[in-house]
Amino acid sequence: MKRGIIVFVMCVCFAGLAAAQEYNTGIGIRAGNSSGLTIKHFTSRKAAFEGLLTTRWEGFDITGLYEVHGKAFDVNHLNWYYGGGGHIGFYNGSNANWGDRGVAYTVIGIDGILGLEYTFGDLPVNIGIDWKPALNLVGYTGLWSEGGLSVRYVF
């Protein structure tokens, strides 16, 4: 039991140190035109995959993105990023300003993303702001864009 507690404390300490330099994975919430959960995992120093599970229009959307990151404005812990990916959404058109009232839609499309994120040096927290345009190719077709604010716990 004591060994388990010691291992747990060491993991928490090392996670805090890793977050102060750079993070590997972040899990949190996203708010904006659509809100939900976000998870981002870096596969290299400059490349990450991000997954979003968001709700909107009495439905939900699953989005997968590949992102390229770089240092922004020569400021420590501040990065810009861009990328793209795809989404699948399941919506009820009854409360939307589009589509036919009472008709359920399944949509599939492509997404882009452009944003800035800051990872705090002393806290395992990351904050990002982005613009994410999307184009539905299947289902109710159309182009839209949305902004988002993400807050993640990073480790």
Domains of the chain: 2-154 (2.40.160.20)
Q: Which residues contact 65 (CB under 8 A, 6 or more apart)?
A: 49, 50, 51, 52, 83, 84, 85, 111, 113
Which pLDDT tens digit goes with each residue over 54-110?
Answer: 998 788 999 999 999 999 999 999 999 999 999 999 988 666 566 666 778 899 999
For residue 91, what pLDDT is reported? 84
The answer on pLDDT for 136 being more than 50 is yes
3-state secondary structure of 78: strand
The encoded tokens of residue 76 equal 């420590």
